[in-house]
Amino acid sequence: MKKIGMAGDAAKVTRTIKVVMHDNYYEPENISVKEGETVRFLIRNAGEFVHEFNIATGPMHVTHQPEMMMMVEHGVLEPDKWRGHRRDQ
Protein backbone atom coordinates (compact mmCIF):
# COMPACT_ATOMS: atom_id res chain seq x y z
CA MET A 1 0.00 0.00 0.00
CA LYS A 2 1.25 3.49 -0.90
CA LYS A 3 1.37 6.18 1.76
CA ILE A 4 0.25 9.79 1.59
CA GLY A 5 2.56 11.76 -0.64
CA MET A 6 3.50 8.84 -2.86
CA ALA A 7 2.16 8.46 -6.38
CA GLY A 8 -0.39 5.68 -6.66
CA ASP A 9 -0.83 3.17 -9.46
CA ALA A 10 -3.13 4.79 -12.07
CA ALA A 11 -4.49 1.35 -12.95
CA LYS A 12 -5.81 0.99 -9.38
CA VAL A 13 -7.81 4.24 -9.32
CA THR A 14 -11.36 3.45 -8.18
CA ARG A 15 -12.78 6.97 -8.33
CA THR A 16 -12.00 10.57 -9.23
CA ILE A 17 -12.64 13.39 -6.78
CA LYS A 18 -13.12 16.85 -8.29
CA VAL A 19 -12.04 19.72 -6.07
CA VAL A 20 -12.84 23.34 -6.95
CA MET A 21 -10.89 26.01 -5.09
CA HIS A 22 -12.68 29.32 -4.63
CA ASP A 23 -11.12 32.31 -2.90
CA ASN A 24 -12.52 31.54 0.55
CA TYR A 25 -13.58 27.90 0.36
CA TYR A 26 -13.12 24.60 -1.42
CA GLU A 27 -15.79 22.32 -2.90
CA PRO A 28 -16.46 19.73 -1.66
CA GLU A 29 -16.06 20.86 1.92
CA ASN A 30 -15.12 17.36 3.12
CA ILE A 31 -13.52 14.37 1.44
CA SER A 32 -13.49 10.82 2.81
CA VAL A 33 -11.09 8.22 1.50
CA LYS A 34 -10.85 4.67 2.82
CA GLU A 35 -7.52 3.18 3.82
CA GLY A 36 -5.95 1.47 0.84
CA GLU A 37 -8.18 3.28 -1.68
CA THR A 38 -6.46 4.83 -4.71
CA VAL A 39 -8.16 8.01 -5.90
CA ARG A 40 -7.41 10.58 -8.57
CA PHE A 41 -7.87 14.25 -7.68
CA LEU A 42 -8.83 16.77 -10.36
CA ILE A 43 -8.15 20.23 -8.99
CA ARG A 44 -9.44 23.52 -10.42
CA ASN A 45 -8.70 27.03 -9.17
CA ALA A 46 -11.93 28.97 -9.78
CA GLY A 47 -10.85 31.89 -7.64
CA GLU A 48 -8.91 35.09 -8.19
CA PHE A 49 -6.08 34.18 -5.80
CA VAL A 50 -3.22 31.70 -5.97
CA HIS A 51 -4.08 28.54 -4.01
CA GLU A 52 -2.32 25.36 -3.09
CA PHE A 53 -3.74 21.90 -2.55
CA ASN A 54 -2.08 19.39 -0.21
CA ILE A 55 -2.98 15.87 0.77
CA ALA A 56 -1.62 15.06 4.20
CA THR A 57 -2.37 13.85 7.70
CA GLY A 58 -3.31 16.30 10.45
CA PRO A 59 0.23 16.37 11.89
CA MET A 60 1.70 16.93 8.42
CA HIS A 61 -0.56 19.98 7.94
CA VAL A 62 0.47 21.35 11.36
CA THR A 63 4.13 21.07 10.35
CA HIS A 64 3.44 22.76 7.01
CA GLN A 65 1.47 25.69 8.49
CA PRO A 66 4.51 27.85 9.45
CA GLU A 67 5.87 27.44 5.91
CA MET A 68 2.55 28.66 4.51
CA MET A 69 2.49 31.65 6.85
CA MET A 70 6.01 32.62 5.76
CA MET A 71 4.95 32.40 2.11
CA VAL A 72 1.94 34.66 2.80
CA GLU A 73 4.08 37.16 4.73
CA HIS A 74 6.70 37.34 1.98
CA GLY A 75 4.25 37.27 -0.91
CA VAL A 76 3.53 34.79 -3.64
CA LEU A 77 4.94 35.23 -7.10
CA GLU A 78 2.34 34.45 -9.73
CA PRO A 79 3.20 33.14 -13.19
CA ASP A 80 4.42 35.82 -15.61
CA LYS A 81 4.67 38.44 -12.83
CA TRP A 82 7.70 40.35 -11.58
CA ARG A 83 8.28 41.30 -8.00
CA GLY A 84 11.05 43.37 -6.46
CA HIS A 85 12.52 42.63 -3.06
CA ARG A 86 14.80 44.79 -0.93
CA ARG A 87 16.45 43.39 2.17
CA ASP A 88 16.54 46.79 3.91
CA GLN A 89 12.75 47.12 4.09
How do the domains of the chain map onto residue ranges?
10-74
- Encode burial over 7-19: b for 16+ CB neighbours within 10 A, e otherwise: eeeeeeeeeeeee
Where does 1-89 have alpha helices with state H?
58-74
pLDDT in tens, the chain (89 residues): 666 767 788 899 999 999 998 888 999 999 888 888 888 889 898 888 877 777 777 888 788 888 877 777 766 656 555 555 544 44
Rounded to a whole number, what is the distance in angstroms from the first to the last CA of the chain?
49
Supply the pLDDT for residue 89.
Answer: 44
Strand-strand pairing, 26-27 and 15-21: antiparallel
